Amino acid sequence: MMTPQRLLTVTSAACLLIYTAGLCRAQGETDSAKAVRHDKEAADLAKAAQNPVANMVSLPLQYNYYTGGGLGSTSEMILNVQPVLPLEINKEWLLISRTIVPFTSVPLPLSVPASVSLPPALSDTARSTGIADIQEQTYFTAAKPGKITWGIGPIFSFPTATNNVLRTGQWGFGPTAVALVMPGPWVIGALANNIWRVGGDDHGTTLNAFTLQPFINLNLPHAWAISTAPLMTSNWSAPRDQRWTVPLGGGVAKVAHIGDQPMNFIMQYYHNVNHPRIAGRNSVRLEAAALWPTAEAKAAKEKEAKEVAAKEKAAKESGRKDP
């Protein structure tokens, strides 16, 4: 059983491992040189951290806290551990693996008299904890994206839940896709998928879930960004008026370093303008992601920088030769 205390322990242990790894790098470097290198690295990583199909290994730990609405004064907590691993197929194509492991803690319902036409009340003292169903998203994407970056592939849902409240007992499968553009300081795009039941338990609510996540990021100096990425969902198996969750909101993001380890930190607030009767109305999202650019991505970035420098040098020399 994954209690809230264990959720905190998992997060703390992961952050400690990341911090220890960062301390083992860049020995003997002066503080000023390290600060300059960190600033440049953070600026280079800011946009890549906002791209779901970037050629970069990352380990996001995303904590979501829900309250209000159907939850009343109680709360629901979800810690998503989301390792992202790019695999090179050849020089033209990449395979991006994105796994989502949700550690959950949800309140249990209390009985309400039958004469009262209200949903069951919830108790924050009686809770159900554990892992929900694990998802695996796989994207095929170009190794050298053009003006529009895109990825497409399958999404799988596995009946791994140990939290009985969230257990589906069903195997799921469907398509997933992402597309984005990066004009100037902006990163704008959307991710969408739908999962259908393909096996497992044939009772209760049939798995048929849609997810749409538009994201907009405005990058600012010093690797700060204003960001929004509302997670819109629909349970097609629910009654028509209980299907959609539609949040609005946003927050800030910052690429920084812990020791020598680049990290992306996100803090956001969302208000659900539409949600099922028993769902929360307000949510806070906190995320810390360790970033490891691949050797191929670093080489491509260095090559691009050299080409830009060569063009600028040629332009200057051409200007000097002109009468």
Summarize pLDDT for 159-177 with one digit per residue, the tens. 999 998 899 999 999 999 9
- The answer to whether residues 206 and 238 touch, using CB atoms and an 8 Å cutoff, is no
- The answer to whether residues 66 and 122 touch, using CB atoms and an 8 Å cutoff, is no
Taking residues 2-29, report their average pLDDT.
54
- pLDDT at residue 15, as a whole number: 54
Q: Tell me if residue 250 falls in helix, strand or coil.
A: strand
**Cβ density class 178-211: b for 16+ within 10 Å, e for less:** bbbebeeebbebebebbbbbeeeeeeeeebbbbb
Counting residues of the chain whose pLDDT is more than 90, the rounded percentage is 65
Summarize pLDDT for 133-150 with one digit per residue, the tens. 999 999 999 998 889 999
CA dihedral 178, 276, 2, 229 (to 10 degrees): 30
Residue 310 φ then ψ, to 5°: -65, -40
Complete DSSP assignment for 58-112: EEEEEEEEEESGGGTT-EEEEEEE--EEEEE-SSSEEEEEEEEEEEEEEEEEE--
| Distance between start and end Cα atoms, the chain | 78
Please tell me the CATH superfamily of domain 4-111+120-315, with its number. monomeric porin ompg (2.40.160.40)
Rounded to two decimals, what is the model's pTM?
0.82
pLDDT at residue 256 above 80? yes
Identify which has the larger pLDDT, 108 or 34.
Answer: 108
- The answer to whether residues 207 and 157 touch, using CB atoms and an 8 Å cutoff, is yes
- pLDDT at residue 26, as a whole number: 46
- The answer to whether residues 145 and 96 touch, using CB atoms and an 8 Å cutoff, is no
Summarize pLDDT for 170-218 with one digit per residue, the tens. 999 999 999 999 999 999 999 999 999 999 998 778 999 999 999 999 9
Taking residues 79-108, report their average pLDDT.
95
Summarize pLDDT for 33-46 with one digit per residue, the tens. 566 667 788 888 99
pLDDT band at 16 (very low <50, low <70, confident <90, very high): low
The bridge status of strand 75-81 relative to strand 56-67 is antiparallel
pLDDT at residue 18 above 70? no
Counting residues of the chain whose pLDDT is more than 70, the rounded percentage is 78
- pLDDT at residue 122, as a whole number: 76
Question: What is the rounded average pLDDT for all residues in the chain?
Answer: 86
